[in-house]
Amino acid sequence: MYNLEAYIDKLAVPNNYSLREEKEDMKKKVLGTLLSVAMVASMLVGCGGGEAETAAPAATEGAPAADAEETPAADAPAADAEEAPAADAPAATGGKKVGVAMPTQSSERWINDGANMKAQLEALGYEVDLQYAEDDVQAQVSQIENMIASGVNCLVIASIDSDALVNVEAQAKEAGIPIIAYDRLLMNTDAVSYYATFDNKGVGTAIGKYIEENAGLDPADPKTIEFFMGSPDDNNAHMLYAGLMEVLQPYLDNGALVCKSGRTSFDDTCILRWSQETAQQNCENYLTGFYADEDLDICATAFDGFAYGCKAALEGAGYTDENWPMITGQDAELMATKNIISGKQTMSIYKDTRLLAEKCVTMVQAVLEGAEPEINDTEQYDNGKIVVPSYLCTPVAVDQSNYEEIIVEGGYYTAEQLAE
């Protein structure tokens, strides 16, 4: 402690005071001053302590108290402060959300598409809003509007009727939400960023080539054929038809193929919403109207669902193994593959939806990370507004000769599934 007596003794004092009086007077003055200072300091400390006690809970409200006590904010490393929020979000995605709009669950392939994509996106840490519209156009519009309102960061759309989505796609673009078209091209919009699909014209070409190579086409021994093409509001259906007719039109022209109904144009053979029931009804009408005295040799269908409809119509008309026609399809659904094994469907186009989902997921990831996704086509898919950069997966024709190698050994279906 400081020696107060020694300090006072050193002070100069006037000559008219006695030494004792001077010392006593000085002591009182100094002690009074020190007491005043002490009181002021005490008041300041008291006020400051009250503010600290009030502020402390606010500073630690969002963090564990131990952390606040152990490491004062001023002393904490900057990196730690920046890394802490990231621990609450998926490391790869920052908690981003993807809306996936699928057309229907009435077809097995769309169920598989949705499940594969959801699983792969969630594995990367994205939140996924997967919706099926059950072929209801307005329902799909509403679902996409709700996705936009919920704050999705990216949209994946497999449309029912792409023209009906133009306005809601414009809403997404205005909100800065990128759109990836999935397997069905979104038409008449500049809001779509990329397109993931199979080579749809290649699908039609593969069906046509299969018929060409396996139906014994010869003008001297004409084969009868009827066509069951896809929905007019689906660009894929138009491209499939184009690929198919590039192969088969010469045989229609030279008489090796004969269509007794006369319905060979796309407009005459397309089936709205890819309806299996309509395909069955059309086939029944063809059989009763044009094939009462002659067998139908080939059902050129663009979809496994159409093949099921044709199968039901043929069975109803009394066809047996002896005169069963060639029936084509697309998607290699489980039931279609079983029908191929039993001989009730001749072939299908195998499209590995796991691969397509994977390619679409990589597109989503690239877009959300500000990168360029892998594409392999920048020319074919003109939607009326822009040419959409696309990734095309390769379709494969499967029949009794190769389904085990491609489908079973490829892990798409198990032998047990096909035996059920």
Q: What are phi and psi of 195, to 5 degrees?
A: -140, 125
CB atoms within 10 A of CB 88: 7
Q: What is the pLDDT of residue 411?
A: 96
Residues 6+ apart with CB under 8 A from 321: 343
Describe the chain by its helix, strand, coil percentages, rounded to 5: 50, 15, 35
Q: Which amino acid is at 327?
A: I
pLDDT digits 0-9 by tens, 117-176: 999 999 999 999 999 999 999 999 999 999 999 999 999 999 999 999 999 999 999 999
Q: What is the pLDDT of residue 54?
A: 35
| Pairing status of strand 348-350 against strand 396-398 | antiparallel
Tell me the two tokens of residue 294: 């002659």
C-alpha separations of 286 from 4, 294, 314, 406 in Å: 122, 11, 10, 34
Can you tell me the distance from the alpha carbon of 190 to that of 242, in angstroms, rounded to the nearest whole number?
25
Query: 397 near 413, Cβ under 8 Å?
Result: no
The pLDDT confidence band at residue 67, using thresholds 50, 70 and 90, is: very low
Least confident among 48-57, 265-274, 396-405: 48-57
Q: What is the pLDDT of residue 92?
A: 53
